[in-house]
Amino acid sequence: MRESDSNLDAYDTADARHLKPVKQPVDWVPAEEAPATHFQSPTARSSNGDRSHDRRGVSTNLSFDHLYASSSASFMSPELRDRVIRWLRRHVPISRLQHILRVEQFSVELAQRYHLDPEQAAQAGLMHDLAKFFKPQRLLQVAQAEGVVLDPVDVANPHLLHAAVGAIVARDEFGIQDEAVLDAIRNHTLGCPGMSALSCVVFLADSLEPGRGDTPELVALRQSSQQDLYRAVWLTCDESLRYLIARAQQIHPRMVLTRNWALGLTHKKTPTSRSH
Ligand SMILES: [Fe+2]
Ligand SMILES: [Fe+2]
């Protein structure tokens, strides 16, 4: 029997919208097939979306064992980390788990650089994609049951909800109560105007982790992430927006708001525009 078999899905009832979650662990059903990723760094993707190779075809995946034992492992309770990784092994493919472990590590590195709490960064990094492979219907169902306010772009692209739903899974399945960690999970895809430095770190780590490749754009963005958190958020949003526009995909208004917020903070610090 799987660990979660004895805990039937708390949301899987006719009146799921009225359920106040979330005392029980939930049978989170993964999608048979991962939907196309909506907001991802536009600079390096493999055809199957896992971006395990850069444009030169060079493998950027370290082995699972190597990633599992990375230095970021020491910033979380080993029991919690093992429990999350065991759960992930049942709910996401190995390529996604490798990405998640790289995001965990990059989040810790950025947190240390900006004097943030590495434990919060490790937790948010490790749990940011818990719902990545949930079916679209399930994402909508869980989000609605939780009272998440849906934009029409969310309804048209339920995959975007994996960030909000991931925070719900982190809370319900793993008992995460730290709102800063939950916010960082919620904000990892679209950001949010006014988001915390921790959220910025996880947002950037998700887009810029080494498995994304080594294109000139990514190299520049990584460099920026080491110098100015908000400037890097602005520039990363710009890259995502360029990607979406080039492919005639919908743009979630929250990403534009995040971009404008980060741009505003950057210009306040280092004005570059001339007045005419
Ligand atoms: Fe994600
Ligand atoms: Fe991710």
Beta-carbon contacts of 268 under 8 Å, excluding residues fewer than 6 positions away, are none
More reliable by pLDDT, 147 or 6: 147
Give the Cβ contact number of residue 5 at 10 Å. 8
SS3 state at 50:
coil
Which tokens hold the place of 239?
């890259």
Which listed ligand is nearest to 159 at the C-alpha?
1
Residues facing residue 53 across a β-bridge: 59
Q: State the distance from the centre of ligand 2 to the C-alpha of 176, rounded, in angstroms.
A: 19
Residue 17: the pLDDT is: 24
Which listed ligand is nearest to 206 at the C-alpha?
2
- In degrees, rounded to 5, the angle at the alpha carbon of residue 113 between the alpha carbons of residues 107 and 119 is 45
Contact assessment for residue 172 and residue 147, using Cβ atoms and an 8 Å cutoff: no
Judge whether residue 165 has pLDDT over 80: yes
Scanning the structure block, which residue is given the tokens 């080993």? 78
Q: State the distance from the centre of ligand 2 to the C-alpha of 206, rounded, in angstroms.
A: 5
Which listed ligand is nearest to 34 at the C-alpha?
1
Which listed ligand is nearest to 204 at the C-alpha?
2
Q: State the distance from the centre of ligand 2 to the C-alpha of 129, rounded, in angstroms.
A: 5
- Residues 93, 52: Cα–Cα separation, whole Å: 12
Q: 119 exposed, middle or buried (CB, 10 Å; 0-12, 13-18, 19+)?
A: middle
Mean per-residue pLDDT, 76-92: 96
Q: State the distance from the centre of ligand 1 to the C-alpha of 272, rounded, in angstroms.
A: 32
Q: Taking the model in full, what pTM does it have?
A: 0.78
Residues facing residue 134 across a β-bridge: 30
**Least confidently predicted of 24-33, 129-138, 186-195, 250-259:** 24-33
Residue 271: the pLDDT is: 53
Which listed ligand is nearest to 133 at the C-alpha?
1
Residue 55: the pLDDT is: 36
Per residue in 98-142, pLDDT (tens digit) is 999 999 999 999 999 999 999 999 999 999 999 999 999 999 999
- Residues 119, 101: Cα–Cα separation, whole Å: 14
Q: State the distance from the centre of ligand 1 to the C-alpha of 94, rounded, in angstroms.
A: 15
Q: State the distance from the centre of ligand 1 to the C-alpha of 16, rounded, in angstroms.
A: 25
SS3 state at 59:
strand
Q: Could you say which DSSP state residue 177 is in?
A: -
Q: State the distance from the centre of ligand 1 to the C-alpha of 163, rounded, in angstroms.
A: 6
Distances from the Cα of 115 to the Cαs of 49, 73, 99, 147, in angstroms?
33, 18, 24, 34
Q: φ, ψ for residue 134 (rounded to 5)?
A: -70, 150
Residue 74: the pLDDT is: 82
Beta-carbon contacts of 147 under 8 Å, excluding residues fewer than 6 positions away, are none
Q: State the distance from the centre of ligand 2 to the C-alpha of 97, rounded, in angstroms.
A: 9
Residue 31: the pLDDT is: 45
Q: State the distance from the centre of ligand 2 to the C-alpha of 118, rounded, in angstroms.
A: 18
Which tokens hold the place of 260?
């404008």
What is the architecture of the domain spanning 59-269?
Orthogonal Bundle (1.10)
- Residues 154, 152: Cα–Cα separation, whole Å: 5
Mean per-residue pLDDT, 251-276: 82
Q: φ, ψ for residue 249 (rounded to 5)?
A: -100, 155
Q: State the distance from the centre of ligand 2 to the C-alpha of 125, rounded, in angstroms.
A: 8
Q: State the distance from the centre of ligand 1 to the C-alpha of 99, rounded, in angstroms.
A: 10
**Least confidently predicted of 7-11, 130-134, 228-232:** 7-11
Scanning the structure block, which residue is given the tokens 């492992």? 73
Which listed ligand is nearest to 160 at the C-alpha?
1
Amino acid, single-letter form, for residue 262:
A
Residues facing residue 59 across a β-bridge: 53
Best mean pLDDT range from 47-51, 71-75, 188-192? 188-192
Per residue in 57-80, pLDDT (tens digit) is 333 455 677 778 776 678 899 999
DSSP symbols for 118-186: HHHHHHHHHHTTTTTTB-HHHHHHHHHHTTPPPPHHHHH-GGGGHHHHHHHHHHHHH----HHHHHHHH
Q: What percent of the chain has pLDDT over 90?
A: 69
Judge whether residue 56 has pLDDT over 50: no
Cis peptide before 202 (omega within 30 of 0): no
Q: State the distance from the centre of ligand 2 to the C-alpha of 189, rounded, in angstroms.
A: 8
Residue 134: the pLDDT is: 98
Q: State the distance from the centre of ligand 2 to the C-alpha of 209, rounded, in angstroms.
A: 9
**Least confidently predicted of 15-29, 73-87, 139-153, 169-183:** 15-29
